Structure 1
Amino acid sequence: MMTEFIIKKPHITEKATELNKIGKYVFIVESSATKNEIKKTLKKIYGVEAVKIRTVSGHPKQKRFKNARSVQTGYKKAIVTLKKGQKIDIE
């Protein structure tokens, strides 16, 4: 898998912003990505070293609007703890 496409985007929420203050960052990643691939991609793109990576998978959900049904796609997010003193500027 090409490392540029493993990390899709930063996950910016109120809770994720609070985690940024203590050196933890949240990213939406490719659902087939492993922790080692995420670690290598962070090193390549942002130039930082991850100490710990936790992943959470969100399952697809069925949605309904009037009589139409659709499926909201699933996702995988990675909560990354960086080495002391390292930072990522996410805006």
Structure 2
Amino acid sequence: MSINKYQLAGIVQAPLISEKSTIAAEKNKQFVFKVQKQATKKQVKGAVEFMFNVEVASVRVLNVKGKQKRFGRSVGQRSDWKKAYVKLKSGHDIDFSAA
């Protein structure tokens, strides 16, 4: 099963910048991304290596359940989504501040 570059680029949807992810980046060289719901660890690894030109040491993924929210009188549900923690090999870094 080979995957082309366009499909790889679509796997990682956005970096997640929060207090928790910033601490993980500073301490452990871990970066957090929102990824496609059906993405596998190997696909996330390949996508991050392709997009940011870095070497990935490990990937951990987790499914985030959508919250119940009220919209007036009706109750709705936000969509479920997937988050990936990507740990880089030593000597590699991703800089999101350079725009």
Higher normalized strand content (fraction of residues) = 1
Same fold (TM over 0.5): yes
Unaligned 5+ segments in structure 1 are none
Shift of 1:64: 1.0
| Aligned mate of 1:69, from 71, 75, 92 | 75
Q: Percent identity at matched positions?
A: 33
| Aligned mate of 2:9, from 4, 14, 17 | 4
Unaligned 5+ segments in structure 2 are none
Query: Structure 1 length normalisation: TM-score?
Result: 0.92
Aligned length: 91
Shift of 1:39: 0.7
Query: Structure 2 length normalisation: TM-score?
Result: 0.85
- 1:47-58 paired onto structure 2 within 5 Å: 47-58=53-64
After TM superposition, which residue ranges in structure 1, 4 or more long, deviate above 2 angstroms? Answer: none
CA-based RMSD of the aligned residues comes to 1.2
User: Residue deviations 1:53-84, cap 9 Å, x none?
Assistant: 11111112321133022221111110011000
